[in-house]
Amino acid sequence: MARQTSTKHINILAKKLINEKYTMTLATASRHVAWAAPVYYVAEKNRFYFFSDPKSRHIREALSSGQAGASIYEESGQWQDIKGIQMSGKIVEISSGTEAITALNAYVQKFQLIRSFFNDMAALDLDRIFFRFQAKLYRFTPELMIYMDNTIHFGFKEEIEL
């Protein structure tokens, strides 16, 4: 039997999923050929920040086309438990400023392992990360977000605004 759900409840479920997961799959396309790539992300105010090599295919295609898709989902071995978020939006590089500092701090907080690569965390900045990993900071900003959840009922989907 399907459970009744409110928009507020759906938003809570979506936020919970976003905050508990670590990887987001990005989808891009060029010349009618699709590509998908997983990235570690941190979410801040409906924006998803991640590091990636600027020469990677998903970055080149997203910046060239001005569009990308993304998904975050719960791993499950049964169709009844499938739940996730499907998004379309834009990816832009974040090079400096308050937004970069906030995103970097949130990223380091979520992914504590990064501390093991740097001796002086107080001096950590985007240049040091690029030098060490050849990765730049990017922001995926969704223009459309759909929460889907088969635990509510088969094929449940609802557009969300978090």
In this predicted structure, the answer to whether residue 3 has a pLDDT above a threshold of 60 is: no
Q: Is the pLDDT of residue 10 over 80?
A: yes
Phi, psi torsion values for 136, nearest 5 degrees? -110, 160
Q: Decide the pairing of beta strands 68-73 and 23-30.
A: antiparallel
β-sheet bridge partners, residue 98: none
Tens of pLDDT along 93-123?
999 899 999 999 999 999 988 888 887 777 7
121 or 51: which carries more pLDDT confidence?
51
Architecture of domain 7-156: Roll (2.30)
Using DSSP's 3-state secondary structure scheme, residue 120 falls into: coil
* DSSP secondary structure letters along 11-60: HHHHHHHHHH--EEEEEEEETTEEEEEEEE-EEETTEEEEEE-TTSHHHH
> Confidence band (pLDDT; 50, 70, 90) for 162?
low
